[in-house]
Structure 1
């Protein structure tokens, strides 16, 4: 019960660095840091060209295969996020043993049990966020697959 929650200076610096990099990555991937076209914008142009080409095809096996591959990758990362969340809960359950083991390592700084649990809880939040993002992407792939199936056959070929 006397376990106090205390983050070291290194912990606070690591947290600040992580948040800084997260914001920087978000701004960079949205194309707000540079004036040239971002990868996301370039991919949007290519996806639009792909859909125009797909609408001209009578047989869309290639398009459905591409969608299936993309959807499987998204499902893999969503399930990996869930497995990692389970691993974090296992860490919380064994936090006394983990903190004891980490204190035996020559890392310089040790963490209290409650501080360790708070760090793991932070990982759980990040992994839960990633799970929901991948889950949403999976849902969007389902919608896109339905829309590909609904595109009419090109005129004059039916």
Structure 2
């Protein structure tokens, strides 16, 4: 399959994978994860569950969890549509390439190269779909754990706290998979640049990586959470 690609394509693909996997490592596994927007919000999720455990009326918390599930399900649906669009592009390869040839937008000398790129894009959206599907399931598990948290006064405070933190960790795990799915969608948009050329792929990858880095470490949302943690 790789015989359809030039050396420039392989270099661009390498840059794409390095930035995607590298960013995932920084956000989920490095020491910097504690300072990211997702890391700061994880602490708020724990605070949420501890506050939830002290309330007798918990309908509001159920509404928040339902909203998280709805958003996850929506993004999963978007991924399915994107996968369908990729298959449509594969089935219409000749038509699409003839259009681009007339516009002189991309080089269409190799039909197989186009198909390899579309297949790669399909895999990215499939990855995102599985991340969203698993996140949706984990939010369900979180709901079960929230339901198991005893009411105030019905158990020892230490036991209630332990149950609440267990639900919080499940919620945090679900959010990590949801964020990974969103990240896949963003890098899928960057991958579209490869349809034009390898240098466009490198440029679009750098742009997406900058946007994601800025949101995690330089955004106003992160500043709000930092200010809240200091008060």
Common fold by TM > 0.5: yes
* Between 59-68 and 98-107, the greater mean CA deviation after superposition: 98-107
Q: Give the conservation status (yes or no) of the 8 Å contact 1:7–1:115.
A: yes
How do 1:116-155 and structure 2 match up within 5 A? 116-155=114-153
Q: Supply the distance in 2 between the matched residues of 1:60 and 1:77 (Cα, whole angstroms).
A: 27
CA RMSD of aligned residues (A): 2.2
Structure 2: unaligned runs, 5 residues or longer: 155-231
Q: How many residues align?
A: 153
| Whole-Å separation in 1 of the counterparts to 2:14 and 2:141 | 38
Corresponding residue number in structure 1 for 2:38 = 40
Q: Which has the higher helix share?
A: 2
Cα pair 2:53 2:149 within 8 Å, conserved: yes
CA contact (8 A) 1:56 1:153 kept: yes
Q: Distance in 2 between matches of 1:28 and 1:45?
A: 18
Task: Return the alpha-carbon distance in structure 2 between the equivalents of residues 130 and 79 of structure 1.
Answer: 11
SS in 2 for 1:154: coil
- 1:53 aligned to which of 51, 54, 71: 51
Structure 1 residue runs without a partner (length 5+): none
Could you report, residue by residue, the CA deviation over 1:62-99 in whole angstroms, capped at 9, with x for unpaired residues?
Answer: 11111111111100111111110001000000001111
Report the TM-score, using the length of structure 1 for normalisation.
Answer: 0.86
Q: Give, in angstroms, the shift of residue 15 of structure 1.
A: 1.3
Task: Kindly name which structure, 1 or 2, has the bigger radius of gyration based on alpha carbons.
Answer: 1
